[in-house]
Amino acid sequence: MDIFDKCYAFTLADDYKAQGIYPYFRALETRQDTEVIMEGKRRIMLGSNNYLGLTTCPEVIEAGIKAFEQYGSGCSGSRFLNGTLQLHLELEAELRDFLRKDDVITFSTGFQSNLGIISAIVGRNDYVICDRENHASIYDGCRLSYGKMLRYQHADMADLEKVLARVPDTAGILIVTDGVFSMGGDVAKLPEIVALAKKYGARVMVDDAHGLGVMGEGGRGTASHFGLENEVDIYMGTFSKSLASLGGYMAGDAKVVDYVRHNSRPYIFSASMTPASAASALAALRYLRKHPEIVDRLRSLGNYARDGLKKRGLEIIESETPIVPIYTYDAVNTLTKAKELYDAGVYVNSSLPPATPPDGCLLRTSYMASHTEALLDEAMDIIQKVMLG
């Protein structure tokens, strides 16, 4: 058998292209903003994770340019060796202070963060327990570890307790959950998760990629939203969303962070964040700290969009975040509607299996603090026309 047989047999992408509904790899010709030029035409951007709109913030852009000029284009090595800049240390210190944790370690990408944290913490004879709708990077981090992964039904606390009850008393347990789930926009039931963790002697890790800058006091995330900052053991997050850059982080107890720093293979054997990425993330963090009202603006616009879509007769997933998915159910209908919206001037994301159940496909809309109500009204009128005729 030729190992490439599976590659030649894969036709799904070609099938969608033949139908004219293939939605991926569309090229932007302008900055990531509320309105973009994509493939030569203006599109209202409702498919970005640029929640605070800081990719176009002058302070963020200037910081990236200055870092490029001062430090060059890259670090050419791992943090262990020649790849640690004073800039990395400043970013970690200020993020540690913002998140009110003992220590912070930064990674080159958000995906790498989950790989690096989970694979280092979860060892042989340990258990890692996941919500079924956790991000793919969490699953891959579990696979990279030597521990045993168990899953519970999405947001089902009774099922989580059943899973916890199956774990031997002698095993270490890490419960990992998204804080804000990226597809549905719903928020983890952290109070119940923390209570069960205490009951069964487990530790709790929250992937706050979509929570930082979105939830909590001044955008401090999901644990802050619930007043559980001292109860969640590990925060993981990214810089590619609210902080308008590229990279990721782990925040937690200093001894635990230092263990990961010295035992995480994805961290040890990867080049460090580029200077421009680190500087941009730091500038975005500083902007957020100076302007906490931007989080309130984002929340207001998310509510405005949610109410506007419902008033226009759209069936959505209810949440309290700037992620507002619209039900489309099957894959072909989802891709067809996404293409019609794109042609009409609105970009949204198609959410298909394995990110959703086969009969639960979605059009995922997401909003930025830099949107205006007038622009959202224009977009929602287009969505109504396309979706409902």
Residues 134 and 227 in one domain: yes
Which of 290, 322, 348 marks a domain boundary?
290
All residues at 6 or more sequence positions from 165 whose CB lies less than 8 Å from its CB, including other chains? 200
- Return the pLDDT at 355: 80
Number of structural domains in the chain? 2
Q: Cα 53–96–225 angle (5° rounding)?
A: 60
Catalytic residue among 108, 182, 270, 272: 182
Catalytic residue among 88, 210, 339, 371: 210
- Return the pLDDT at 229: 97
- Which CATH number do you get for residue 246? 3.40.640.10
- Return the pLDDT at 353: 87
Model-wide pTM > 0.85 = yes
Q: In terms of Cα–Cα distance, which of 272, 268, 263, 269 is closest to 146?
A: 263
Q: How far apart are the first and last CA of the chain?
A: 50
Round to whole Å and give the CA distance between 12 and 241: 29
- Which CATH number do you get for residue 44? 3.90.1150.10
In order along its 389 residues, the chain shows pLDDT tens digits of 999 999 999 999 999 999 999 999 999 999 999 999 999 999 999 999 999 999 999 999 999 999 999 999 999 999 999 999 999 999 999 999 999 999 999 999 999 999 999 999 999 999 999 999 999 999 999 999 999 999 999 999 999 999 999 999 999 999 999 999 999 999 999 999 999 999 999 999 999 999 999 999 999 999 999 999 999 999 999 999 999 999 999 999 999 999 999 999 999 999 999 999 999 999 999 999 999 999 999 999 999 999 999 999 999 999 999 999 999 999 999 999 999 999 999 999 999 888 888 888 999 999 999 999 999 999 999 999 999 98
Q: In terms of Cα–Cα distance, which of 249, 204, 241, 256 is closest to 226?
A: 204
Q: Which residue range forms the structural domain that includes residue 42?
A: 5-56+292-388
Residues 277 and 167 in one domain: yes
Which of 265, 290, 315 marks a domain boundary?
290
> 242 an active-site residue?
no
> 241 an active-site residue?
yes
> 240 an active-site residue?
no
- Return the pLDDT at 93: 98
- Return the pLDDT at 358: 87
- Return the pLDDT at 389: 82
What six digits make up the tokens of 352? 């298909």
Residues 89 and 71 in one domain: yes
Residues 250 and 306 in one domain: no
Residues 188 and 321 in one domain: no
Which of 220, 255, 290 marks a domain boundary?
290
Lateral strand order in the sheet of 148-152:
103-107, 248-252, 234-238, 203-207, 173-178, 127-131, 148-152
- Return the pLDDT at 226: 98
Residues 147 and 286 in one domain: yes
Residue 72 region, left (φ>0) first, then alpha (ψ -120 to 50), else beta? Answer: left
Residues 241 and 179 in one domain: yes
Write out the chain in H/E/C secondary structure. Answer: CCCCHHHHHCCHHHHHHHHCCCCCCCCECCCCCCEEEECCEEEEECCCCCCCCHHHCHHHHHHHHHHHHHHCCCCCCECCCCCCCHHHHHHHHHHHHHHCCCEEEEECCHHHHHHHHHHHHCCCCCEEEEECCCCHHHHHHHHHCCCEEEEECCCCHHHHHHHHHCCCCCCCEEEEEECECCCCCCECCHHHHHHHHHHHCCEEEEECCCCCCCCCHHHCCHHHHCCCCCCCCEEEEECCCCCCCCCEEEEECHHHHHHHHHHCHHHHCCECCCHHHHHHHHHHHHHHHHCCHHHHHHHHHHHHHHHHHHHCCCCECCCCCCEEEEEEECHHHHHHHHHHHHHHCEECEEECCCCCCCCCEEEEEECCCCCCHHHHHHHHHHHHHHHHC
Tell me the torsion sign for CA atoms 251, 221, 28, 327: positive
Residues 270 and 175 in one domain: yes
Residues 278 and 375 in one domain: no
Question: Could you give phi then psi for residue 248, rounded to 5 degrees?
Answer: -155, 175
Catalytic residue among 88, 241, 337, 371: 241
Tell me the torsion sign for CA atoms 82, 69, 49, 27: negative
Residues 152 and 199 in one domain: yes
Residues 49 and 63 in one domain: no
Residues 133 and 258 in one domain: yes
- Which residue shows structure tokens 């100076």? 290
Q: Position 262: which residue type?
A: H
